[in-house]
Structure 1
Amino acid sequence: MVVTFKEESLMAFNHLFLKDYVDGGMDTYAVYRQADVYDHIDYIITQYGLLHNNTVGNHAYEKNGSGYTALSICQEFYRNGAIYPGNETFEIDAHVDADCIEVYPMYSLTSRDLLQNFEVHFKRLICIKITFVIKAINLQTVRHRELPDCYDFNVIITFNNQAHSGRIKVELESDVEINECRDWKVTGASAKQIYLTVLFDCLIVITCITSFTLCVRSVIKGILLMLEYTKHCSKHCGKDTPWSDKLEFVNGWYILIIVSDTLTIIGSILKIEIQTKILTSYNVCSIFLGTGTMFVWIGVIRYMGYFRKYNILILTLRAAFPNVIRFICCAGIIYLSYCLCGWIVLGPYHEKFRTLNTVSECLFSLINGDDMFPTFKNMKQKSSLVWIFSRVYLYTFVSLFIYMILSLFITIITDTYDTIKQQQQSGVLMSELQKFLAVCKDLPNSGVFRLDKSNNCILNCCINRCREQQERLTSEA
């Protein structure tokens, strides 16, 4: 509802304040004559003064004491300049000055009278910015038993003339501030649903705090056991413990639950504050709740690990992860080199290579086989040398990444999958830690794991195993 209200309000502002505006024509909306610039500014001033009579929404001016805030018109231009394109000579002062006027919502003077003392310096003009504030209330939330929000739309209309190409592009932007309404009264609706939702959110927060505490306790216990195991192996066996065995003591699923619980707790608290109109941080709340929900559902895969055939995905991802990271680092360097080359060489001739961000998006689409023909076709043939270079550039990139790098990437995954599948069929190889635990005669269900602090199966197994190895080496010698 918040997003819909903001988008439709921006569309309404385009139709209210931009002369002869047509939906979808913002990219080509521009003025080309000096008279048109004055006409558009005059139209904006007139529509701003007649806002109450024109709008079909609940838009209003911002209060400033007993009156309303003014509409501000500012032009930015070079301080001094003499430009003679015919003689190919110019003299320019790069310092930028600003000239502003304020127009208050009144009906006694026409917009033409207000613009008499406002002269636009077209030869030195950089831009004209018209700013004003419009307030509105989003009433559609009342139907869902939620209190409405009050919006402050900071509307900015820019006449952009930085290129000095004879085309002044007109843009309308709106920065939105969502605030709590001051005095409100809602009749005919009950707040029971709001209280039940807040109560449910509080229950979620308590559950996540409990889960967070238990998982942190388990992780700490695992780390302490890892340190104890490493210490005694180093002392009695005389060798360091590999990282693969150390990581066996830290449950990665617990780490994932801790992260998801943290995000869910923060997002739920923000959601409660939004519902009670203490805060209006919708974007921050959605990021926390959305990411937390994603991690929660990823954690469901953990329970599939109890089934041997379904566990192959987890084992494949875990085994292939180191090789995939190393492969991506190498391929990323080649990808970055192509991005920089395309941005520098093809940027002036192709819209998709105009910025480094669009270059990366375009090349990533080519790797996935999307939008390939338009990328080749839209290359401007103004320079034969650059056109030939673009063909060599695109063909080599497609051939290298689709036929070689992408195939190698898939091969890494499939080889790891085949290895895991063969291990499941022939028996999983035991690690050093698993072999070490297999020596213990007292299994976890024997009840002798923790008779006291000094009697520990792990330590006894370690000591006995080291002694057996030493005796075996002595007998062989």
Structure 2
Amino acid sequence: HVNYTWDNRISFSHLFLLGWDSTREINAYPPGAGPLAVYKIDEFYNTLDYAIAGYSNISNAIGPYSYNNEDNNMTDPVFCMFNYKEGIINGFNESYEFNSEIVETCLNFSKVENEDFNSETYLKEAGLNISFSALVRAKLKFAIKTINFRAAGPITPPDCYRFDVEIIFDNEDHDGQMSLILEAEPYKLQCKGDKEYTTDNQIDQILRSILNILVIFICAASFVLCSRAIYRSQLLKELT
């Protein structure tokens, strides 16, 4: 389960993160590459556009991914911003206006079919002008469903999962480097609908059943012997 979750997270990183490469998949010290981050305003919007493009073309992925609804139509990803209520920096004269209260603002990114999505234009038309001096972090959120066949065995059927994906733009340090992080939280679902699970490996089933019965018998015998030993130790204690 852990490996499956990690492997899907890597796949999502390739599909949705602009600038992701294979050197970031290996945990090494010192790391093989610096932190994945954006440094320019146009890079911020390009990263959003890349993620939306990957999400809208999920059918092009090798992985058996689907959208989070019953008819497999694309659901709108949600974009959320967390801003200081007031954060204006005038570095030229060392002045500022600041209110540390954080305000959350969210909206759906609705993509028109067969048209390229432009996040900068979309946000401006929605009346949201991002002030990067006040922006603490931003998140792009969507969900993807998949089924894991590898977990299936002679007795165990395949597993169904939903991954809640979050692409996080972390600007808390306000140091000119906005870190880019992808989180994919797995949730195991109850498989439903039309499904068929067929196995013809009867020998494997028989051997597995024999092993289970043998384990139960050994555990029961061990319990009886342990209980007998405890009982006799109590009798010996009373005699001495």
Normalised by the length of structure 2, the TM-score is: 0.80
User: Once the 2 structures are TM-superposed, how far is the Cα of residue 217 of structure 1 from its aligned partner?
Assistant: 4.1
Map of 1:239 onto structure 2: none
SS of structure 2 residue aligned to 1:20 = coil
1:209 corresponds to 2:211: no
From the superposition, tell whether residues 15 and 209 of structure 1 become closer, same or farther in structure 2 (CA, over 3 Å).
Answer: same
Mark the CA change 1:58 to 1:30 in structure 2 (over 3 Å): closer, same or farther: same
Q: Which among 129, 153, 157 is matched to residue 147 of structure 1? A: 157
- Describe the SS at the equivalent of 2:50: helix
Q: Which residue of 2 aligns with 1:103?
A: 109
Matched to 1:215, the amino acid is C
2: CA distance, partners of 1:221 / 1:86: 88
Segments of structure 1 that go 5 or more residues without pairing to the other structure are: 229-455, 459-477
- Residues in 2 aligned to 1:199 and 1:105: alpha-carbon distance in whole angstroms: 56
Describe the superposition over 1:255-294 as per-residue Cα deviations: whole angstroms up to 9, x where unpaired: xxxxxxxxxxxxxxxxxxxxxxxxxxxxxxxxxxxxxxxx
- 1:136 alignment counterpart: 146
Aligned equivalents of 1:196, 1:77: Cα separation in 2: 61
Once the two structures are TM-superposed, the CA of residue 42 in structure 1 deviates from its matched residue by 1.2
* Partner secondary structure for residue 196 of structure 2: coil
- Structure 1 equivalent of residue 52 of structure 2: 45
Cα distance between partner residues in 1 of 2:105 and 2:214: 57
Contact persistence 1:159–1:170 (CA under 8 A): yes
Deviations 1:114-147 (A, max 9, x none): 33324322111111111111111122345x5342
Paired residue for 1:165? Answer: 175
Instruction: Name the structure where helix makes up a greater proportion of residues.
Output: 1
- Which amino acid is the alignment partner of residue 75 of structure 2? T
Report deviation, 1:192: 5.8
Which structure: larger Rg? 1
Residue among 88, 99, 106 paired with 2:94: 88
| AA matched with 1:152 | R
The corresponding residue for 2:186 is 176
Distance 1:105 1:60 in 2: 17
The 1-side partners of 2:75 and 2:205 are apart by: 35
Identity value in percent: 27
Aligned to 1:115: 123
CA distance in 2, matches of 1:190, 1:106: 49
Q: Is the 8 A contact 1:68 1:104 kept in 2?
A: no
Tell me the distance in 2 between the aligned counterparts of 1:114 and 1:194.
57
**Equivalent residue of 1:115, what SS?**
helix
**Aligned counterpart for 1:222 among listed residues 233, 236, 240:** 233
- Higher percent of residues as strand: 2
Q: Distance in 1 between matches of 2:178 and 2:99?
A: 21
From 16, 33, 37, the equivalent of 1:30 is 37
**Does the C-alpha gap of structure 1 residues 7 and 186 become closer, same or farther in structure 2, counting only changes over 3 Å?**
same
- Compare relative contact order (CA 8 Å, sep 6+) and give the higher one, 1 or 2: 2
Secondary structure at the aligned position of 2:102 is classed as: strand
CA distance in 1, matches of 2:111, 2:227: 61
Contact 1:48/1:105 (<8 A) preserved: no
Shift of the 198–61 alpha-carbon distance from structure 1 to 2, 3 Å rule, reads farther
- Structure 2: distance between partners of 1:78 and 1:171: 21
